[in-house]
């Protein structure tokens, strides 16, 4: 058919192209096959047959119908083939001549004569053979390539397969598929119908020409094929699957077409009478009589079939499988074969469903055939001769051999074989006779299989290469599937040795329930306290120690008034034990002092009366006197250098006992002792102050005498705070009495070396407070209490080199027992300290006036009581320097004697009048006494021989009488001056005899209630005698100050 046309092309085709072409060709074949009248006829026939069967087996037993259908057909076929056989034999003989291979076929064919059962198939094969031979002839003529020819053959085979498949399909569909696609098919049906008709015509022509074997026929075929190809070529570009789908569709369509066609043909032209008849038969289903006509048709069909597939089957036989041949040769084996086919089919993993689908039909087809053949078997039992069986065996043997060969070659290529196998199996029925030819073409099969193999492998390779690009493989994390930990020892133990339902448990038997017992007895606690050093009664205490109350004083007083006071009142306070001990201590101290003073005064008054009597004999001015008890062990041998009275507490006196030069057995011989006396309490000094070096001067604090300042020969200024508790000070028991020696609370010794004094401090004076200024008269009364409260005042200290220092007295808010880390001059526990305020150099001012005096010494310092700005300094040049601490210089600058000369005379004493504060007395070393007014440089009065040539030690105004003053000279004479009585010489001159008086101090109180005045005399022996002045010296007359003023003015 179309092979001739193709051949020219195929010469140069490559394997891949070929493959593709094969694929396409199969479609073409399929399509052509569809159109091919042979197929159609075949189908129709089968239909018809079936119909006939239905006629036979009434009752619509379709299955049975099928069963007998083939039998019928075969019967028919046998008739046909008998006709054909003659022709076949001629053909065979021709073939024998042509080819050696054909001999086999001839053998087969010769055997075939006997075989009635396989007649039909053999006929077909023979015709194929014949056709093939014709082609061979043509091949030889045209010197065609054998291989390409084979390829073509293979293609043809495939086409044939397609056709077969379609047949099966149609059959299958006929009783299975009732889906209607008529709407789609109708359009094409007309055409296909016509076409089919045409083809049928052509075939009939060919039939007629068949015996001629002329070239003209092949030419015609070629033309025909060419036309077909043209038809199919337009589909070539399309997808294979698409084609396949189309094929399938086509098949379905055709299937329907044919039904449709059948109906159509009823109304068709006369030329198709037989067919019409057939259709009507189909419809009526009772036309048995039509068999003859049908038989004609059948022969026609057969003929056509023979022609059509003769090319397809030409070489088919060579490639036959064992299974297929088995099927052909024996009916029993056929069943096996189908099984094998089915098995193989399952293995065809990559074959798409289409093929599988086809296979399904195949099976059915085969089973149909089988059934048919079975029927045949039954019918022609007699005909199955021994010869036939032998032949079958021979064929089997040959096939076995072949299989061995093929199997060796194509073991790997099973897939390819499988592809083809179904087709072969389909063809097996018809191609049985051609099996002997197979040996010759074995190599091609193997080559083809290899090629296909290669192709598939490369395809897979390409696929994998393409896919691997798209896929990235990765490692998963190692994931734990099972983690069964080993059983621990205890569980193992329990499992292996323990009994079931037991468990080990641990119980502690009351071990932690221990008893605790305390065997010691309860400690009794009492609260007590103590103080160290335990110098007084309050040194220690406890809850039950205090028996006193606040009204202790009342109690004491009541003791005095009524000694028989009931203990009941004492018990009352006893119960109230909650007492502030410190407050009580202070109360007791002050109270005891008061009591002691009271007692001593009481005693002293009694004694003084006695003493006065005795002493009035001695001293003309004395109105009686008393002696302070300086007969104390530590005061023995001490020389009294200074006696000083407090200006406010007029009964308080200081006595400075300088250190003794001679070695003394007595303690504190090298110390300076300062005793604070209350002149009403002469039995013992109130306080004893202790200092290591010599004290040159001292003074009380203004107001209440709580502080004592002293200037020392070593240039330091020290102070004692008399308020300090005795327990804080050194206490010594001498004899039966206990004495407290107080060290200075503050000393400028090492602390203020830069701003302190570098020579002996000659004078220490309290700078009078400015508050008192201008109110002098009241100051004496009011000032004490005011100044006592606020301890803020200035202190001035003058050393002999003329340095005048001002100090500010500061009281610290609280004491530090551990001592001050910053101020080393402060005694631990001390509260009062001196802060350096300013320094004045008095010498510089004087030197530019008195340059010749090389050794100017400052001896005495006094402040103007009314103005603290003005100070007066007595020098060793007989002059008193007048200066101011700040502000303008005051005039006159110097106070000289009447001559106005400067001569080296010490100014030993300066005393301001307590009544006329602008007047002061100056006692000179040459015995001269001068009365100066502040405003005048020259003295108002100068008494040159006031002391009979002896140097004046001390000169002091009386505290009670403005016009009276007392002078002590170095010869221990005391002169009492009363300016109102005698302004040229003293009224009383008294020599103290053998016991030299070293110091003198006047005291007195001008209070109206109890006016007294006197003089305290310190003797060289250490005694301190206090002499009260007589009343004429004590009590001042009215307007005595005025008289003095007038007197002075008169002078």
CA distance 699 to 623: 28
Q: Shortest Cβ distance from residue 456 to another protein (Å)?
A: 10
Q: How far is CA 229 from CA 157, 222, 592, 882, in A?
A: 17, 10, 159, 161
Cβ-based neighbour number of residue 380 at 10 Å: 19
Give the residue with the Cβ less far from another protein, 483 or 511. Answer: 483
Q: Shortest Cβ distance from residue 349 to another protein (Å)?
A: 10
Q: Shortest Cβ distance from residue 244 to another protein (Å)?
A: 11
Q: Shortest Cβ distance from residue 254 to another protein (Å)?
A: 25
Nearest alpha carbon to residue 265 among 251, 276, 255 = 276
Give the residue with the Cβ less far from another protein, 20 or 235. Answer: 20
Give the residue with the Cβ less far from another protein, 462 or 606. Answer: 462
Q: Shortest Cβ distance from residue 426 to another protein (Å)?
A: 23
Q: How far is CA 94 from CA 87, 90, 91, 136, in A?
A: 11, 6, 5, 12
CA Rg value for the chain: 84
Give the residue with the Cβ less far from another protein, 350 or 506. Answer: 350
Q: Shortest Cβ distance from residue 157 to another protein (Å)?
A: 20
DSSP 901: -
- Give the CA dihedral 61, 66, 67, 69, nearest 10 degrees: 120
Nearest alpha carbon to residue 780 among 768, 762, 796 = 768
Q: How far is CA 1012 from CA 629, 702, 729, 1015, in A?
A: 21, 21, 35, 10
Residues 800 and 837 sit within 8 Å (Cβ to Cβ): no
Q: Shortest Cβ distance from residue 159 to another protein (Å)?
A: 18
Q: Is the peptide bond before 832 cis (omega within 30 degrees of 0)?
A: no
Give the residue with the Cβ less far from another protein, 24 or 131. Answer: 24
- Could you give the angle at the alpha carbon of 720 between the alpha carbons of 718 and 726, nearest 5°? 145
Contact residues for 540 (Cβ-Cβ < 8 A; gap 6+): 528, 529, 530, 531, 534
CA torsion sign for 1026, 1030, 1032, 1035 is positive
Nearest alpha carbon to residue 766 among 855, 862, 839 = 862
Give the residue with the Cβ less far from another protein, 271 or 346. Answer: 346
Please list the residues that pair with 707 across neighbouring strands. 721
Q: Shortest Cβ distance from residue 350 to another protein (Å)?
A: 9
Q: Shortest Cβ distance from residue 22 to another protein (Å)?
A: 11
Give the residue with the Cβ less far from another protein, 208 or 459. Answer: 459
Q: How far is CA 110 from the centre of its chain?
A: 105
Give the residue with the Cβ less far from another protein, 496 or 504. Answer: 496
Give the residue with the Cβ less far from another protein, 470 or 888. Answer: 470
- What residues line the site for another protein (CB under 8 A)? 20, 23, 239-241, 459, 462-463, 466-467, 470-487, 491-492, 495
Alpha helices in 530-632 (DSSP H): 552-561, 567-575, 581-616
Give the residue with the Cβ less far from another protein, 93 or 454. Answer: 454
Residues 128 and 312 sit within 8 Å (Cβ to Cβ): yes
Give the residue with the Cβ less far from another protein, 23 or 595. Answer: 23
Nearest alpha carbon to residue 861 among 709, 748, 649, 688 = 709
Q: Residue 520 in 3-state DSSP? A: coil
Give the residue with the Cβ less far from another protein, 393 or 495. Answer: 495
Q: Shortest Cβ distance from residue 18 to another protein (Å)?
A: 13
Give the residue with the Cβ less far from another protein, 472 or 517. Answer: 472
Q: Shortest Cβ distance from residue 495 to another protein (Å)?
A: 7
Q: Is the peptide bond before 533 cis (omega within 30 degrees of 0)?
A: yes
Q: Shortest Cβ distance from residue 473 to another protein (Å)?
A: 5
CA distance 507 to 509: 6
Q: How far is CA 588 from CA 136, 210, 573, 581, 585, in A?
A: 166, 173, 16, 10, 5
Nearest alpha carbon to residue 794 among 886, 692, 880, 715 = 886
Q: Shortest Cβ distance from residue 451 to another protein (Å)?
A: 15
């Amino acid at each position: 058919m179309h092979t001739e046309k193709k051949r020219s092309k195929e010469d140069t085709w490559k394997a891949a192209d070929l493959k593709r072409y094969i694929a396409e060709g199969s479609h073409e074949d399929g399509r052509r096959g569809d159109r091919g009248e042979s197929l159609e006829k075949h189908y129709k026939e089968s239909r018809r047959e079936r119909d006939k069967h239905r006629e036979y087996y009434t009752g619509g037993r379709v299955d049975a119908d099928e069963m007998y259908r083939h039998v019928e057909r075969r019967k028919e076929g046998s008739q046909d083939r008998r006709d054909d056989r003659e022709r076949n034999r001629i053909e065979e003989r021709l073939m024998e001549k042509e080819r050696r291979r054909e001999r086999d076929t001839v053998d087969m064919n010769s055997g075939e004569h006997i075989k009635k059962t396989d007649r039909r198939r053999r006929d077909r094969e023979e015709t194929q053979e014949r056709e093939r031979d014709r082609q061979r002839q043509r091949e030889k003529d045209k010197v065609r390539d054998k291989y390409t020819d084979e390829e073509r053959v293979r293609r043809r085979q495939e086409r044939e397969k397609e056709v077969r498949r379609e047949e099966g399909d149609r059959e299958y569909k006929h009783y299975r598929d009732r889906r209607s696609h008529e709407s789609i098919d109708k359009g094409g049906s007309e055409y296909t119908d016509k076409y089919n008709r045409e083809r049928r015509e052509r075939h009939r022509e060919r039939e007629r020409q068949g015996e001629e074997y002329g070239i003209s026929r092949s030419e015609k075929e070629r033309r025909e094929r060419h036309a077909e190809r043209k038809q199919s070529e337009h589909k070539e570009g399309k997808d294979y699957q698409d084609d396949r789908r189309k094929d399938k569709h086509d098949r379905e369509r055709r299937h329907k077409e044919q039904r449709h066609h059948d109906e159509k043909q009823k109304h068709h032209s006369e030329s198709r009478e037989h067919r019409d008849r057939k259709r009507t038969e189909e419809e009526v289903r009772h036309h048995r009589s039509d068999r003859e006509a049908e038989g004609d048709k059948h022969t026609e069909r057969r003929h056509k079939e023979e022609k059509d597939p003769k090319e397809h089957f030409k070489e088919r036989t060579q490639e036959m499988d064992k299974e297929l041949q088995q099927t052909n040769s024996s009916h029993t084996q056929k069943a096996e074969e189908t099984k094998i086919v089915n098995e193989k089919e399952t293995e065809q993993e990559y074959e798409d469903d289409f093929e599988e689908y086809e296979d399904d039909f195949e099976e059915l087809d085969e089973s149909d055939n089988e059934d048919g053949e079975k029927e045949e078997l039954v019918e022609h039992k007699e005909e199955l001769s021994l010869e036939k069986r032998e032949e079958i065996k021979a064929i089997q043997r040959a096939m076995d051999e072949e299989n061995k060969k093929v199997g060796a070659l194509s073991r790997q290529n099973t897939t390819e074989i499988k592809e083809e196998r179904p087709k072969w199996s389909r063809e097996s029925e018809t191609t049985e006779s051609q099996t002997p030819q197979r040996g010759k073409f074995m190599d091609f099969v193997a080559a083809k299989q290899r090629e296909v193999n290669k192709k598939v492998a490369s395809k897979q390779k390409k696929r994998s290469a393409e896919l691997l690009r798209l896929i990235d493989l990765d490692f998963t994390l190692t994931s734990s599937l099972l983690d069964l930990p080993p059983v621990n020892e205890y569980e193992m133990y329990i499992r292996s040795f323990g009994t079931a339902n037991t468990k080990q448990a641990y119980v502690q038997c009351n071990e932690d329930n221990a008893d605790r017992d305390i065997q010691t007895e309860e400690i009794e606690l009492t609260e007590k306290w103590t103080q160290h050093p335990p110098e007084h009664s309050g040194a220690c205490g406890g809850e039950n120690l205090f028996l006193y109350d606040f009204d202790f004083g009342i109690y004491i007083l009541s003791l005095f008034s009524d000694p028989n006071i009931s203990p009941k009142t004492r018990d009352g306070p006893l119960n109230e034990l909650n007492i502030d001990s410190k407050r009580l201590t202070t109360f007791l101290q002050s109270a005891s002092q008061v009591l002691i003073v009271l007692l001593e005064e009481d005693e002293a008054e009694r004694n003084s009366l006695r003493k006065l009597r005795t002493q009035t004999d001695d001293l003309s001015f004395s109105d009686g006197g008393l002696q302070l008890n300086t007969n104390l062990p530590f005061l023995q041998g001490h020389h009294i250098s200074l006696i000083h009275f407090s200006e406010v507490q007029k009964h308080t006196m200081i006595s400075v006992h300088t250190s003794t030069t001679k070695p003394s057995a007595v303690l504190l011989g090298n110390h300076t002792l300062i005793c604070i006396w209350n002149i009403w309490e002469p039995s013992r000094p109130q306080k004893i102050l202790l200092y290591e070096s010599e004290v040159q001067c001292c003074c009380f604090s203004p107001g209440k005498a709580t502080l004592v300042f002293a200037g020392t020969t070593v240039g330091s200024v020290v102070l004692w705070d008399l308020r300090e508790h005795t327990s804080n000070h050194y206490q010594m028991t001498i004899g039966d009495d206990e004495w407290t020696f107080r060290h200075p609370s503050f000393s400028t010794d090492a602390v203020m070396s830069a701003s302190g004094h570098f020579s002996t401090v000659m004078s220490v004076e309290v700078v009078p407070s400015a508050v008192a200024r201008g109110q002098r008269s009241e100051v004496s009364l009011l000032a004490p209490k005011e100044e006592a409260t606020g301890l803020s005042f200035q202190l001035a200290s003058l050393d002999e080199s003329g340095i005048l220092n001002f100090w500010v007295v500061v009281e610290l808010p609280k004491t530090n027992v551990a001592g001050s880390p910053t101020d080393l001059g402060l005694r631990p526990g001390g509260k009062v300290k001196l802060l350096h305020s300013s320094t004045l150099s008095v010498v510089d001012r004087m030197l530019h006036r008195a340059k010749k005096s090389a050794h100017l010494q400052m001896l005495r310092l006094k402040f103007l009581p009314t103005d603290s700005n003005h100070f007066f300094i007595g020098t060793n040049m007989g002059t008193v320097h007048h200066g101011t601490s700040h502000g303008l210089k005051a005039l006159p600058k110097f106070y000289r004697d009447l001559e106005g000369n400067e001569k080296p005379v010490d100014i030993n004493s300066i005393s301001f009048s307590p009544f006329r504060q602008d007047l002061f007395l100056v006692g000179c070393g040459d015995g001269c006494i001068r009365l100066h007014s502040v405003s005048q440089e020259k003295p108002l009065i100068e008494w040159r021989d006031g002391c009979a040539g002896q140097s004046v030690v001390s000169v002091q105004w009386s505290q009670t009488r403005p016009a009276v003053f007392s002078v002590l000279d170095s010869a221990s004479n005391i002169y009492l001056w009363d300016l109102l009585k005698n302004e040229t010489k003293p009224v009383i001159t008294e020599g103290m005899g053998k016991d030299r008086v070293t110091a003198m101090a006047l005291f007195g109180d001008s209070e109206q209630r109890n006016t007294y005045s006197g003089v305290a005399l310190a003797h060289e022996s250490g005694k301190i005698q206090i002499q009260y002045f007589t009343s004429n010296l004590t009590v001042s007359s009215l307007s005595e100050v005025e008289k003095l003023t007038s007197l002075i003015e008169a002078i």
